[in-house]
Amino acid sequence: MNMTQDTICAISTSSGGAIGLIRVSGPDAIFVTSSIFRPAKAGKKLEDTKPYSLTYGQILDGEEIIDEVLVSLFRAPHSYTGEDSTEIACHGSSYILQRMLQLLIKKGCRLAQPGEYTQRAYLNGKMDLSQAEAVADLIASNSAASHRLAISQMRGGFSKELVALRDQLLHFTSLIELELDFSDHEDIEFADRSELFRLADHIEEVITRLKNSFRLGNVLKHGVPVAIVGKTNVGKSTLLNRLLHEERAIVSDIHGTTRDVIEDTIVLEGITFRFIDTAGLRSTTDAIEQIGIQRAYQKLEEAQIVLWIIDTPPTEEELQDMSQRCEGKKLIIVRNKSDKPSDADFTFVKSQAAIHDAGAQRSLNFQFSIINYQFIELSAKFDPNINALEKLLLHAADIPEISGADVIVTNARHYEALTHALDAIQRVQQGLHDGLSGDFLSQDIRECIYHLSDIVGEVTADDVLQNIFKHFCVGK
């Protein structure tokens, strides 16, 4: 990709809307746009227009009028990409948009690659790499929480914290390496080891906090995974449909209707919940249904919250099995079909829940390890108690309040780099404790600096950049 010489163009709006937008960026952006644009005000040229202004006129192919448009003009370096840029706002007809692209290409533009506008913004110093990645997160955000995280990262909160750590490390490694230049004088020590001790401890604490925040960040970005499990015909699919407020899953009285996992999401109080309806758990000789049941157990393992749907009291063996499978997870036992009369006694389930809620740790009359779970009765088909279940889900998700100042890691690449940086700074701590020489300390400090710098893109290889930006949409 030639990032400095080419002038690029792309449609930046989704199809089917009333308004369409074409972005043009590069050294010839204003000239090329002007060559197909006729301002409504006679004698006024686009090249002479002040930046940050709108000009009304027509896009022409020869003497044929393609559309009446508004053209925004931005001059380098004060644009999104840092280059001369224009944006053509027209009617959203796909025919009009394609005709304009053809005209721009004919005049010397080329179609932009996915993410090329943001990649140019990064290469031209308009943002660092973590901020550029936040642009993609912002576009993909589908809840208030994921939106807040993307905005915070795009504004540079994460970058500022990393740069501050890196600068402190650079100061010390330069002093240590200065000592090496005077290695013949053993009594010379420029870098105060006690201060380096304190700095290493501080940096280890910060990196650990950032690294550990990834679990929360990943949940807020992708949604809280909730597995809906239970026997066949207990109402799992009916409950999913009630939660989603649409007929997403097939509901039938026939056992084994759901043979594969069905996933969909809802947003509750700004938090995305990703529901996974699974095949009914039972013994079966049907090969396809067996695959669905295996996938059900797999999704249960991946879930953070498990909705265990029952319509009869579970046996001791079933309780033990679910207890083991849900270790470390939040379990909500949902007694469904409460609208139907039943002689079954659910009080022992309630009593166990009450024992857990009270924090008691006495042994029960059967072997069942107490786990973090709640119990609720409802009718997925008729009961309006679905709101109570939603409140239990929010409580089980246990998402803390996040302010705009909180730095939460949401990117797997950042998490990996932080993991390597943490390993390096812990070696520095150990080296200081063991009294290692400056050359060994300097090597580990520089490795930590490298991984912190990699997050903001100061040392990132070209192939990594290509992999990051290829996942952006065209036009951004």
* 19-24: average pLDDT: 95
- The order of strands in the sheet holding 19-25 is 37-39, 53-61, 64-74, 85-91, 19-25, 8-11, 110-111
Q: What is the predicted pLDDT for the residue at 360?
A: 39
Tracing tokens 């809307």 back to the chain, one arrives at 17
Report d(CA 326, CA 228) in Å as an integer. 12
Q: Please, what's the largest Cα pairwise distance for the chain? A: 93
Which has more confidence, 55 or 196?
Answer: 55
- Give the position of tokens 């380096």: 196
Instruction: Tell me the three state secondary structure of residue 73.
Output: strand
Residues 7-36 have a mean pLDDT of 93
- pLDDT tens-digit profile of 315-331? 778 887 888 888 888 88
Residue 121, pLDDT > 70, answer: yes
Percent of the chain with pLDDT over 70: 76
Q: What is the mean pLDDT of residues 105-131?
A: 90
Chain segment 140-162, per-residue pLDDT in tens: 887 888 888 888 888 877 888 88
**10 Å Cβ neighbour count for 41?**
9
Task: Grade residue 11 by pLDDT with cuts at 50, 70 and 90.
Answer: very high
More confident: 79 or 356: 79
How many whole angstroms separate alpha carbon 131 and alpha carbon 155? 7
- pLDDT digit string, tens, across residues 250-285: 444 444 444 345 678 888 888 889 888 776 554 544
Which residues make up the CATH 1.20.120.430 domain(s) of the chain? 135-213+407-457
- Which tokens in the block code for residue 109? 């533009």
- Tell me the average pLDDT of the chain: 79
Q: Nearest 5°: phi and psi at 219?
A: -65, -45
pLDDT digits (tens, 9 = 90+) for 93-116: 999 999 999 999 999 999 999 889
In which element (H, E) is residue 90 found?
A: strand 85-91
Q: For residue 357, is pLDDT > 60?
A: no
- The whole-angstrom separation of Cα 472 and Cα 266 is 24
Length of the chain equals 476
Q: What is the pLDDT of residue 472?
A: 66
Lowest mean pLDDT among 12-21, 60-69, 224-233, 275-284: 275-284
Please give the CATH architecture assigned to the domain spanning 8-127.
2-Layer Sandwich (3.30)
Average pLDDT value for residue range 181-208: 72
Residue ranges, comma separated, of all CATH 3.40.50.300 domains in the chain are 219-397
Please tell me the distance from the alpha carbon of residue 432 to that of residue 422, in angstroms, as a whole number.
15
Do the Cβ atoms of 20 and 66 come closer than 8 Å? no
Q: Taking the domain 219-397, which CATH number applies? A: 3.40.50.300
Task: Provide φ and ψ at 10, rounded to 5°.
Answer: -165, 155
What is d(CA 51, CA 76) in angstroms, rounded to the nearest whole number?
10
Question: 394 burial class (0-12, 13-18, 19+ CB within 10 angstroms)?
Answer: middle
Architecture of domain 135-213+407-457: Up-down Bundle (1.20)
Bridge-partner residues for 65, per DSSP?
60
User: Which residue ranges does the chain devote to CATH 3.30.1360.120?
Assistant: 8-127
Per-residue pLDDT band for 197 (boundaries 50, 70, 90) equals confident
What region, left, alpha or beta, does residue 235 occupy, with left being phi > 0 and alpha being psi -120 to 50 degrees? left
Q: Which residue has the tokens 């990117």?
A: 411
Q: Give mean pLDDT, residues 456-462.
A: 66
Is residue 224 over pLDDT 70?
yes
Are the C-beta atoms of 82 and 126 separated by less than 8 Å? yes
Beta partners for 91? 19
Evaluate if residue 22 carries a pLDDT over 50.
Answer: yes
Per residue in 401-455, pLDDT tens? 766 567 888 888 999 999 999 999 999 999 888 887 777 888 898 899 899 888 8
Give the residue from 291, 280, 282, 284 showing the smallest Cα distance to 239. 280
19-25/53-61 β-pairing: unpaired
Classify residue 80 by its DSSP letter: S
